[in-house]
């Protein structure tokens, strides 16, 4: 193993993030999910049904990218898509009961990945949240604000 004592903090953080995501994706694959799919389902769980364009905007991906993710989720029965009553060109995406169960199962899987390390996952989350909050207040570019600004249910979302 490389001498991590000499690694800069940024390298440690990005390597840890990639390893956690890789471990989590291995577990998610067993239930037909990906990291991207879980993020989309978590947004639907928190905000309710919405169009594909709205979901893509909240997740901060292109609508085409979101379409691929949604096709996989729909094939596994995690979401449903129905034509919008107000705009026949768009579809409203909804989480199914199976999708709600999968969101809960994915959260358990994430905890199990972090539990494998000899650290307290809750403390790690608190520390990471502190880093994000502190750096986000110092860096006020629109790109950074878009990353850390939470989606607010009930507020209008501009279509892509």
pLDDT band at 7 (very low <50, low <70, confident <90, very high): very high
Quote the percentage of the chain above a pLDDT of 90. Answer: 39
pLDDT at 150 (0 to 100): 54
pLDDT band at 25 (very low <50, low <70, confident <90, very high): confident
Q: 27-148 architecture in CATH?
A: Orthogonal Bundle (1.10)
Q: By C-alpha distance, which of 37, 50, 20 is closest to 98? A: 37
pLDDT at 152 (0 to 100): 40
Q: What does DSSP assign to residue 117?
A: S
Q: Cβ distance 52 to 93 under 8 Å?
A: yes
* H/E element, 91: strand 91-95
Which ranges of 94-120 would DSSP assign to H, the alpha helix?
Answer: 97-115
Residues in the chain: 160
């Amino acid at each position: 193993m490389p001498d991590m004592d000499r690694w800069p903090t940024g390298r440690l953080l990005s390597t840890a993030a990639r390893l956690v995501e890789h471990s989590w994706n291995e577990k998610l694959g067993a239930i037909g999910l990906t990291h991207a799919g879980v993020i989309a389902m978590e947004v639907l769980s928190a905000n309710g049904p919405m169009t594909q364009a709205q979901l893509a905007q909240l997740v901060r991906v292109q609508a085409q990218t979101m379409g691929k993710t949604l096709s996989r989720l729909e094939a596994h029965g995690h979401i449903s898509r129905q034509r919008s009553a107000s705009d026949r060109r768009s579809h409203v995406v909804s989480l199914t009961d199976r999708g709600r169960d999968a969101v809960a199962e994915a959260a358990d899987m994430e905890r199990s990945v972090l539990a494998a390390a000899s650290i307290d996952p809750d403390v790690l989350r608190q520390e990471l949240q502190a880093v994000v909050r502190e750096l986000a207040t110092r860096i006020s570019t629109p790109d950074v604000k878009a990353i850390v600004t939470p989606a607010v249910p009930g507020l209008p979302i501009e279509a892509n």
